[in-house]
Amino acid sequence: MDLEGLARKMLEKGIERNIVRQRLIEWLEFYKGKRNLNSSVAEHVIKEVENSMMFSNLGFSKVGLSAGDGGLGSRGLGDNIIHLKLFELSKRAIESFDDAGVSGDIIVSVDGIHSRLSFFPYLAGFHATKATLRDIMVKGADPIGLMVDIHLSDDSDISMLFDFEAGVSTVAEAIGVPILAGSTLRIGGDLVLGERISGGIASVGKLRGQVLSRSRISKGNKIIMTEGNGGGTISAMGIFHGIDGIVEETLKIKDLEACMAVKDLEKYIVSMTDVTNGGIRADALEIAEVTNLSLVIDEEAFLSLINPKVRSALEELGLDPFGLSVDSILIFTNEPDKILEALKNHGIKADVIGEVQSGKSYPIVTKAGKEMRPSFRESPYTPVKSIIGNTSPFSLDQIREKVQEAFLQAQKKKEKVLKNLKTGTG
Protein backbone atom coordinates (compact mmCIF):
# COMPACT_ATOMS: atom_id res chain seq x y z
CA MET A 1 0.00 0.00 0.00
CA ASP A 2 1.51 3.29 -1.18
CA LEU A 3 0.46 5.81 1.47
CA GLU A 4 1.92 8.72 -0.49
CA GLY A 5 0.19 7.67 -3.70
CA LEU A 6 -3.12 7.10 -1.92
CA ALA A 7 -2.99 10.48 -0.19
CA ARG A 8 -2.01 12.26 -3.40
CA LYS A 9 -4.81 10.60 -5.37
CA MET A 10 -7.48 11.45 -2.79
CA LEU A 11 -6.33 15.05 -2.38
CA GLU A 12 -6.27 15.53 -6.16
CA LYS A 13 -9.86 14.27 -6.27
CA GLY A 14 -10.86 16.87 -3.68
CA ILE A 15 -11.60 14.40 -0.90
CA GLU A 16 -11.78 16.09 2.51
CA ARG A 17 -8.55 16.10 4.47
CA ASN A 18 -10.01 14.37 7.54
CA ILE A 19 -11.30 11.51 5.37
CA VAL A 20 -7.88 11.13 3.75
CA ARG A 21 -6.32 11.03 7.20
CA GLN A 22 -8.73 8.35 8.43
CA ARG A 23 -8.10 6.15 5.38
CA LEU A 24 -4.36 6.35 5.96
CA ILE A 25 -4.81 5.44 9.63
CA GLU A 26 -6.85 2.38 8.62
CA TRP A 27 -4.08 1.12 6.37
CA LEU A 28 -1.43 1.83 9.00
CA GLU A 29 -3.41 -0.17 11.55
CA PHE A 30 -3.84 -3.01 9.06
CA TYR A 31 -0.09 -3.37 8.54
CA LYS A 32 1.38 -1.99 11.77
CA GLY A 33 -1.33 -2.70 14.33
CA LYS A 34 -2.85 -0.09 16.61
CA ARG A 35 -0.07 2.32 17.59
CA ASN A 36 -0.16 5.75 19.14
CA LEU A 37 1.94 7.19 16.33
CA ASN A 38 -0.38 6.06 13.49
CA SER A 39 -2.41 9.26 13.69
CA SER A 40 0.71 11.40 13.66
CA VAL A 41 2.22 9.46 10.75
CA ALA A 42 -0.96 9.88 8.72
CA GLU A 43 -1.01 13.61 9.42
CA HIS A 44 2.60 14.03 8.33
CA VAL A 45 2.10 11.95 5.18
CA ILE A 46 -0.63 14.40 4.16
CA LYS A 47 1.58 17.34 5.06
CA GLU A 48 4.45 16.00 2.96
CA VAL A 49 2.17 15.41 -0.01
CA GLU A 50 0.65 18.89 0.28
CA ASN A 51 4.13 20.41 0.40
CA SER A 52 5.30 18.38 -2.59
CA MET A 53 2.27 19.42 -4.65
CA MET A 54 3.62 22.99 -4.58
CA PHE A 55 6.47 21.78 -6.79
CA SER A 56 4.41 20.40 -9.66
CA ASN A 57 6.70 22.23 -12.09
CA LEU A 58 9.43 19.74 -11.16
CA GLY A 59 7.20 16.75 -11.87
CA PHE A 60 5.76 15.39 -15.08
CA SER A 61 2.75 16.17 -17.22
CA LYS A 62 0.38 13.26 -17.75
CA VAL A 63 -0.40 12.26 -21.33
CA GLY A 64 -3.33 10.02 -20.40
CA LEU A 65 -1.70 6.67 -21.15
CA SER A 66 -1.01 4.36 -18.22
CA ALA A 67 1.80 1.81 -18.25
CA GLY A 68 -0.74 -1.02 -18.35
CA ASP A 69 -2.84 0.42 -21.19
CA GLY A 70 0.36 1.14 -23.11
CA GLY A 71 1.58 -2.42 -22.71
CA LEU A 72 4.79 -1.45 -20.91
CA GLY A 73 6.67 -4.51 -19.73
CA SER A 74 4.07 -6.84 -21.24
CA ARG A 75 6.35 -7.86 -24.11
CA GLY A 76 4.11 -7.22 -27.08
CA LEU A 77 3.37 -4.58 -29.68
CA GLY A 78 2.78 -1.78 -27.16
CA ASP A 79 6.05 -2.48 -25.37
CA ASN A 80 7.85 -2.39 -28.72
CA ILE A 81 6.49 1.10 -29.48
CA ILE A 82 7.52 2.44 -26.08
CA HIS A 83 11.03 1.00 -26.19
CA LEU A 84 11.74 2.43 -29.63
CA LYS A 85 11.10 5.89 -28.19
CA LEU A 86 13.18 5.15 -25.07
CA PHE A 87 16.08 4.24 -27.36
CA GLU A 88 15.64 7.56 -29.14
CA LEU A 89 15.59 9.56 -25.89
CA SER A 90 18.69 7.83 -24.51
CA LYS A 91 20.42 7.91 -27.91
CA ARG A 92 21.02 4.19 -27.68
CA ALA A 93 21.69 2.58 -31.05
CA ILE A 94 18.90 0.30 -32.22
CA GLU A 95 20.73 -1.33 -35.12
CA SER A 96 20.55 -4.68 -33.36
CA PHE A 97 17.62 -4.40 -30.92
CA ASP A 98 19.64 -6.57 -28.55
CA ASP A 99 19.07 -6.70 -24.79
CA ALA A 100 22.72 -6.02 -24.01
CA GLY A 101 24.76 -2.88 -24.62
CA VAL A 102 28.33 -2.79 -25.92
CA SER A 103 31.18 -0.32 -25.44
CA GLY A 104 34.45 -1.50 -26.94
CA ASP A 105 34.96 -5.05 -25.70
CA ILE A 106 32.77 -4.54 -22.61
CA ILE A 107 29.15 -5.66 -22.68
CA VAL A 108 26.49 -5.03 -20.05
CA SER A 109 22.90 -5.99 -19.37
CA VAL A 110 20.32 -5.54 -16.62
CA ASP A 111 17.17 -7.54 -15.93
CA GLY A 112 14.45 -6.68 -13.43
CA ILE A 113 13.03 -9.38 -11.22
CA HIS A 114 9.80 -10.97 -12.38
CA SER A 115 6.95 -8.80 -11.10
CA ARG A 116 4.92 -11.76 -9.82
CA LEU A 117 7.71 -13.43 -7.86
CA SER A 118 7.88 -10.93 -4.98
CA PHE A 119 6.69 -13.52 -2.48
CA PHE A 120 9.13 -16.09 -3.88
CA PRO A 121 12.38 -14.12 -3.56
CA TYR A 122 14.70 -17.06 -4.14
CA LEU A 123 13.06 -17.68 -7.52
CA ALA A 124 13.10 -13.96 -8.29
CA GLY A 125 16.84 -13.76 -7.69
CA PHE A 126 17.64 -17.01 -9.48
CA HIS A 127 15.77 -16.19 -12.67
CA ALA A 128 16.79 -12.53 -12.92
CA THR A 129 20.43 -13.55 -12.59
CA LYS A 130 20.08 -16.22 -15.22
CA ALA A 131 18.37 -13.74 -17.55
CA THR A 132 21.00 -11.01 -17.35
CA LEU A 133 23.88 -13.46 -17.79
CA ARG A 134 22.13 -15.00 -20.77
CA ASP A 135 21.72 -11.57 -22.38
CA ILE A 136 25.48 -10.99 -22.50
CA MET A 137 26.48 -14.59 -23.18
CA VAL A 138 24.35 -14.88 -26.33
CA LYS A 139 26.23 -11.88 -27.70
CA GLY A 140 29.56 -13.68 -27.40
CA ALA A 141 30.83 -12.50 -24.02
CA ASP A 142 32.42 -14.14 -21.01
CA PRO A 143 30.72 -12.80 -17.86
CA ILE A 144 33.09 -11.17 -15.38
CA GLY A 145 30.72 -9.93 -12.68
CA LEU A 146 27.23 -9.24 -11.36
CA MET A 147 25.59 -6.30 -9.57
CA VAL A 148 22.51 -6.62 -7.37
CA ASP A 149 19.80 -4.00 -6.78
CA ILE A 150 17.06 -5.07 -4.39
CA HIS A 151 14.30 -2.94 -2.82
CA LEU A 152 12.07 -4.19 -0.01
CA SER A 153 8.82 -2.67 1.20
CA ASP A 154 8.75 -1.49 4.82
CA ASP A 155 7.00 -4.63 6.08
CA SER A 156 9.11 -7.13 4.13
CA ASP A 157 10.62 -9.75 6.41
CA ILE A 158 14.41 -9.55 6.34
CA SER A 159 14.50 -13.21 5.28
CA MET A 160 13.23 -12.09 1.86
CA LEU A 161 16.50 -10.23 1.33
CA PHE A 162 18.60 -13.26 2.17
CA ASP A 163 16.41 -15.59 0.11
CA PHE A 164 16.81 -13.28 -2.88
CA GLU A 165 20.59 -13.11 -2.45
CA ALA A 166 20.68 -16.89 -2.21
CA GLY A 167 18.92 -17.18 -5.56
CA VAL A 168 21.40 -14.78 -7.16
CA SER A 169 24.45 -16.46 -5.67
CA THR A 170 23.23 -19.94 -6.67
CA VAL A 171 23.49 -19.06 -10.35
CA ALA A 172 26.64 -16.99 -9.82
CA GLU A 173 28.49 -19.84 -8.11
CA ALA A 174 27.18 -22.45 -10.56
CA ILE A 175 29.02 -20.82 -13.44
CA GLY A 176 31.79 -19.11 -11.48
CA VAL A 177 30.84 -15.44 -11.78
CA PRO A 178 31.46 -13.13 -8.77
CA ILE A 179 28.96 -10.66 -7.34
CA LEU A 180 30.84 -7.36 -7.50
CA ALA A 181 28.47 -4.77 -6.06
CA GLY A 182 24.95 -4.19 -4.81
CA SER A 183 22.37 -1.83 -3.39
CA THR A 184 19.69 -2.57 -0.80
CA LEU A 185 16.92 -0.04 -0.19
CA ARG A 186 13.29 0.21 0.89
CA ILE A 187 10.56 0.96 -1.64
CA GLY A 188 9.31 4.45 -0.82
CA GLY A 189 11.02 4.49 2.56
CA ASP A 190 8.37 4.76 5.28
CA LEU A 191 5.54 5.56 2.87
CA VAL A 192 5.02 2.19 1.18
CA LEU A 193 3.53 -0.52 3.37
CA GLY A 194 3.40 -4.20 2.48
CA GLU A 195 5.85 -6.94 1.63
CA ARG A 196 6.45 -6.63 -2.12
CA ILE A 197 10.03 -6.51 -3.37
CA SER A 198 11.44 -5.10 -6.59
CA GLY A 199 14.83 -4.64 -8.17
CA GLY A 200 17.11 -6.19 -10.71
CA ILE A 201 20.43 -7.81 -11.53
CA ALA A 202 23.07 -6.39 -13.86
CA SER A 203 25.91 -8.27 -15.49
CA VAL A 204 29.19 -7.20 -17.06
CA GLY A 205 31.11 -9.25 -19.58
CA LYS A 206 34.04 -9.14 -21.96
CA LEU A 207 33.58 -9.93 -25.63
CA ARG A 208 35.67 -12.73 -27.08
CA GLY A 209 35.42 -11.34 -30.61
CA GLN A 210 32.63 -9.86 -32.71
CA VAL A 211 29.28 -9.06 -31.15
CA LEU A 212 26.84 -11.77 -32.21
CA SER A 213 24.12 -9.19 -32.76
CA ARG A 214 20.79 -9.65 -34.50
CA SER A 215 21.89 -7.24 -37.22
CA ARG A 216 24.26 -9.96 -38.53
CA ILE A 217 21.39 -12.34 -39.33
CA SER A 218 21.08 -12.94 -43.07
CA LYS A 219 19.00 -14.85 -45.57
CA GLY A 220 19.72 -18.56 -45.61
CA ASN A 221 20.86 -18.86 -41.99
CA LYS A 222 19.61 -22.01 -40.30
CA ILE A 223 17.95 -21.53 -36.91
CA ILE A 224 18.96 -23.89 -34.12
CA MET A 225 16.93 -23.90 -30.92
CA THR A 226 18.06 -25.42 -27.63
CA GLU A 227 15.83 -27.00 -25.01
CA GLY A 228 13.58 -24.58 -23.12
CA ASN A 229 12.84 -25.23 -19.47
CA GLY A 230 11.35 -21.83 -18.70
CA GLY A 231 12.29 -19.16 -16.18
CA GLY A 232 10.45 -16.52 -14.19
CA THR A 233 7.40 -16.47 -16.45
CA ILE A 234 6.91 -20.23 -16.41
CA SER A 235 7.51 -20.31 -12.64
CA ALA A 236 4.79 -17.68 -12.16
CA MET A 237 2.48 -19.65 -14.44
CA GLY A 238 2.94 -22.81 -12.39
CA ILE A 239 2.60 -21.07 -9.03
CA PHE A 240 -0.47 -18.96 -9.76
CA HIS A 241 -2.28 -21.74 -11.61
CA GLY A 242 -1.44 -24.13 -8.77
CA ILE A 243 0.40 -26.67 -10.93
CA ASP A 244 2.85 -28.88 -9.04
CA GLY A 245 6.24 -29.73 -10.48
CA ILE A 246 6.62 -26.80 -12.87
CA VAL A 247 8.89 -24.55 -10.79
CA GLU A 248 11.37 -27.38 -10.26
CA GLU A 249 11.76 -27.76 -14.03
CA THR A 250 12.81 -24.11 -14.33
CA LEU A 251 15.63 -24.38 -11.79
CA LYS A 252 18.13 -25.35 -14.46
CA ILE A 253 20.84 -23.46 -16.32
CA LYS A 254 20.79 -25.35 -19.63
CA ASP A 255 20.48 -22.02 -21.46
CA LEU A 256 23.72 -20.74 -19.94
CA GLU A 257 25.40 -24.09 -20.47
CA ALA A 258 24.39 -23.95 -24.14
CA CYS A 259 26.13 -20.60 -24.53
CA MET A 260 29.28 -22.01 -22.95
CA ALA A 261 29.10 -25.17 -25.05
CA VAL A 262 29.41 -23.28 -28.34
CA LYS A 263 31.82 -20.51 -27.27
CA ASP A 264 34.69 -22.08 -29.22
CA LEU A 265 32.60 -22.31 -32.39
CA GLU A 266 31.89 -18.62 -32.89
CA LYS A 267 33.40 -18.64 -36.36
CA TYR A 268 30.41 -20.78 -37.34
CA ILE A 269 27.84 -18.65 -35.51
CA VAL A 270 26.19 -15.64 -37.16
CA SER A 271 24.08 -14.53 -34.20
CA MET A 272 22.45 -15.76 -31.01
CA THR A 273 19.46 -14.62 -29.01
CA ASP A 274 17.11 -16.06 -26.41
CA VAL A 275 13.45 -16.99 -26.57
CA THR A 276 12.28 -14.92 -23.64
CA ASN A 277 9.97 -11.93 -23.24
CA GLY A 278 7.13 -12.20 -25.72
CA GLY A 279 8.41 -15.52 -27.00
CA ILE A 280 9.70 -16.23 -30.48
CA ARG A 281 6.95 -14.02 -31.91
CA ALA A 282 8.57 -10.98 -30.27
CA ASP A 283 12.07 -12.14 -31.22
CA ALA A 284 11.04 -12.32 -34.87
CA LEU A 285 9.45 -8.86 -34.72
CA GLU A 286 12.65 -7.32 -33.36
CA ILE A 287 14.85 -9.18 -35.84
CA ALA A 288 12.66 -7.95 -38.69
CA GLU A 289 13.03 -4.37 -37.39
CA VAL A 290 16.76 -4.47 -38.15
CA THR A 291 17.03 -6.95 -41.05
CA ASN A 292 13.70 -6.91 -42.95
CA LEU A 293 13.89 -10.70 -42.94
CA SER A 294 11.47 -13.36 -41.75
CA LEU A 295 11.86 -16.51 -39.70
CA VAL A 296 10.25 -19.57 -41.25
CA ILE A 297 9.87 -22.24 -38.60
CA ASP A 298 8.67 -25.78 -38.12
CA GLU A 299 6.03 -25.58 -35.38
CA GLU A 300 6.46 -29.16 -34.19
CA ALA A 301 10.24 -28.90 -34.08
CA PHE A 302 9.88 -25.82 -31.88
CA LEU A 303 7.36 -27.46 -29.57
CA SER A 304 9.42 -30.66 -29.23
CA LEU A 305 12.20 -28.69 -27.54
CA ILE A 306 10.02 -27.25 -24.78
CA ASN A 307 10.37 -29.16 -21.51
CA PRO A 308 7.64 -31.88 -21.63
CA LYS A 309 6.08 -30.87 -18.30
CA VAL A 310 6.07 -27.20 -19.28
CA ARG A 311 4.62 -27.99 -22.71
CA SER A 312 1.90 -30.13 -21.16
CA ALA A 313 0.95 -27.32 -18.77
CA LEU A 314 0.85 -24.78 -21.60
CA GLU A 315 -1.44 -27.04 -23.60
CA GLU A 316 -3.68 -27.73 -20.60
CA LEU A 317 -4.05 -24.00 -19.93
CA GLY A 318 -4.52 -23.12 -23.60
CA LEU A 319 -1.50 -20.80 -23.59
CA ASP A 320 0.43 -19.85 -26.70
CA PRO A 321 3.92 -21.44 -26.48
CA PHE A 322 5.14 -19.14 -29.27
CA GLY A 323 4.22 -16.02 -27.28
CA LEU A 324 5.88 -16.81 -23.95
CA SER A 325 9.37 -16.97 -22.48
CA VAL A 326 10.62 -20.55 -22.63
CA ASP A 327 14.30 -19.64 -22.06
CA SER A 328 15.67 -21.45 -25.10
CA ILE A 329 18.65 -20.18 -27.07
CA LEU A 330 18.34 -19.46 -30.81
CA ILE A 331 21.56 -19.89 -32.79
CA PHE A 332 21.74 -18.59 -36.36
CA THR A 333 24.36 -20.45 -38.38
CA ASN A 334 25.36 -21.78 -41.78
CA GLU A 335 27.02 -24.80 -40.18
CA PRO A 336 24.26 -26.38 -38.09
CA ASP A 337 25.85 -29.83 -37.83
CA LYS A 338 28.93 -28.51 -36.02
CA ILE A 339 26.81 -26.57 -33.54
CA LEU A 340 24.43 -29.45 -32.89
CA GLU A 341 27.31 -31.84 -32.26
CA ALA A 342 28.85 -29.51 -29.66
CA LEU A 343 25.52 -29.11 -27.88
CA LYS A 344 24.91 -32.85 -27.90
CA ASN A 345 28.36 -33.48 -26.42
CA HIS A 346 27.40 -31.20 -23.52
CA GLY A 347 24.10 -32.99 -22.91
CA ILE A 348 21.95 -30.21 -24.33
CA LYS A 349 18.95 -31.02 -26.51
CA ALA A 350 18.76 -28.96 -29.70
CA ASP A 351 17.56 -29.11 -33.28
CA VAL A 352 17.15 -27.01 -36.41
CA ILE A 353 13.69 -25.44 -36.21
CA GLY A 354 13.75 -23.30 -39.36
CA GLU A 355 15.65 -20.83 -41.46
CA VAL A 356 15.85 -17.15 -42.29
CA GLN A 357 14.22 -16.08 -45.55
CA SER A 358 13.42 -12.87 -47.39
CA GLY A 359 10.71 -10.76 -45.81
CA LYS A 360 7.38 -12.58 -45.91
CA SER A 361 3.91 -11.38 -45.05
CA TYR A 362 5.01 -11.19 -41.43
CA PRO A 363 8.25 -11.52 -39.39
CA ILE A 364 7.53 -15.13 -38.47
CA VAL A 365 5.61 -17.70 -40.48
CA THR A 366 5.35 -21.46 -40.39
CA LYS A 367 6.58 -23.72 -43.17
CA ALA A 368 2.92 -24.02 -44.19
CA GLY A 369 2.74 -20.23 -44.57
CA LYS A 370 0.72 -19.43 -41.44
CA GLU A 371 1.45 -15.99 -39.99
CA MET A 372 2.40 -15.93 -36.32
CA ARG A 373 1.55 -12.38 -35.38
CA PRO A 374 2.62 -10.97 -32.00
CA SER A 375 -0.15 -9.81 -29.68
CA PHE A 376 -0.52 -6.57 -27.77
CA ARG A 377 0.80 -8.42 -24.71
CA GLU A 378 2.53 -11.75 -24.21
CA SER A 379 0.28 -14.77 -23.73
CA PRO A 380 -1.67 -14.27 -20.44
CA TYR A 381 0.03 -16.84 -18.21
CA THR A 382 -1.73 -16.16 -14.86
CA PRO A 383 -5.45 -16.19 -14.03
CA VAL A 384 -5.52 -12.41 -13.45
CA LYS A 385 -3.78 -11.76 -16.78
CA SER A 386 -6.37 -13.89 -18.58
CA ILE A 387 -9.18 -11.80 -17.09
CA ILE A 388 -7.54 -8.49 -17.97
CA GLY A 389 -7.03 -9.75 -21.50
CA ASN A 390 -4.60 -9.08 -24.29
CA THR A 391 -5.88 -5.77 -25.62
CA SER A 392 -5.78 -2.06 -24.80
CA PRO A 393 -8.54 0.57 -24.83
CA PHE A 394 -6.20 2.52 -27.13
CA SER A 395 -5.35 1.71 -30.73
CA LEU A 396 -1.69 1.31 -31.67
CA ASP A 397 -1.82 4.69 -33.41
CA GLN A 398 -3.23 6.32 -30.28
CA ILE A 399 -0.48 4.70 -28.20
CA ARG A 400 2.14 6.03 -30.62
CA GLU A 401 0.68 9.55 -30.34
CA LYS A 402 0.67 9.54 -26.54
CA VAL A 403 4.13 8.00 -26.33
CA GLN A 404 5.38 10.69 -28.71
CA GLU A 405 3.83 13.38 -26.51
CA ALA A 406 5.55 11.96 -23.41
CA PHE A 407 8.81 11.70 -25.33
CA LEU A 408 8.70 15.32 -26.47
CA GLN A 409 8.00 16.58 -22.94
CA ALA A 410 10.91 14.60 -21.53
CA GLN A 411 13.19 15.62 -24.41
CA LYS A 412 12.42 19.32 -23.82
CA LYS A 413 13.26 19.02 -20.11
CA LYS A 414 16.46 17.14 -20.90
CA GLU A 415 17.62 19.71 -23.44
CA LYS A 416 16.91 22.63 -21.09
CA VAL A 417 18.96 21.17 -18.23
CA LEU A 418 21.75 20.04 -20.59
CA LYS A 419 21.99 23.56 -21.97
CA ASN A 420 22.31 24.96 -18.45
CA LEU A 421 24.98 22.43 -17.57
CA LYS A 422 27.01 23.17 -20.67
CA THR A 423 26.79 26.95 -20.24
CA GLY A 424 27.49 26.82 -16.52
CA THR A 425 24.15 28.38 -15.55
CA GLY A 426 22.73 25.29 -13.90
pLDDT tens figures, 301-344 = 999 999 999 999 999 999 999 999 999 999 999 999 999 999 99
| CB-CB contact of 376 with 74 (8 Å) | yes
Indicate the SS3 state at residue 372.
coil
Residue 140 has pLDDT above 70, yes or no: yes
Alpha helices, H only, 292-395: 299-304, 308-317, 336-345, 383-388
Helix (H) or strand (E) holding 329: strand 328-333
What does the pLDDT look like over 22-40, one tens digit per residue? 999 999 999 999 999 999 9
Calculate mean pLDDT across residues 2-29. 96
pTM of the full structure: 0.91
Amino acid 373: pLDDT: 76
Q: What is the CATH number of domain 213-380?
A: 3.90.650.10
| Three-state secondary-structure class, residue 71 | coil
Q: Which residues contact 184 (CB under 8 A, 6 or more apart)?
A: 150, 151, 152, 161
With a CB cutoff of 8 Å and minimum separation 6, the contacts of 301 are 225, 351, 352, 353, 354
- State the pLDDT at residue 96: 57
Long-range CB pairs of 55-63 (<8 Å, 24+ gap) are: 60/409, 60/410, 61/409, 63/402, 63/403, 63/405, 63/406, 63/409
Instruction: State which CATH number among 3.20.20.80, 1.10.3470.10, 3.30.1330.10, 3.30.413.10 fits the domain covering 97-211.
Output: 3.30.1330.10
Mean pLDDT for 292-298 is 95
pLDDT surpasses 70 at 148: yes
Q: What rounded mean pLDDT belongs to the chain?
A: 93
Sequence letter at residue 28: L
Q: Which residue has the higher pLDDT, 125 or 289?
A: 125
Angle between helix axes 3-12 and 17-32 (nearest 10 degrees) is: 160
Measured CA to CA, the distance from residue 164 to residue 150 in angstroms comes to: 8
For residue 388, pLDDT over 80 is answered with: yes
Alpha helices in 33-66 (DSSP H): 38-52
Amino acid at 25: I
| Domain boundaries defined on the chain | 3-58, 97-211, 213-380
Cα distances from 15 to residues 6, 30, 43, 157, 380, in angstroms, run 11, 22, 15, 34, 36
Task: Report residue 139's pLDDT band, with 50, 70 and 90 as the boundaries.
Answer: very high
pLDDT tier for residue 370 given thresholds of 50, 70 and 90: confident
Quick: pLDDT tens for 54-84. Answer: 998 889 899 999 998 988 877 778 887 888 8
Query: How confident is the model over 144-170, as a mean pLDDT?
Result: 96
Q: Would the pLDDT of 403 be above 70?
A: yes
Mean pLDDT of 353-358: 96
DSSP 306: B
Nearest Cα to Cα of residue 354 among 365, 344, 346: 365
Cα 32 to Cα 36: distance, rounded to the nearest angstrom:
11
| Predicted pLDDT of residue 379 | 79
pLDDT confidence bin for 426, thresholds 50/70/90: low
Predicted confidence band at 94 (pLDDT cuts at 50, 70, 90)? low
Which pLDDT score, from 0 to 100, does residue 182 have?
94
Q: What is the mean pLDDT of residues 203-214?
A: 95
- From CA 189, how far away is CA 191, in angstroms rounded? 6
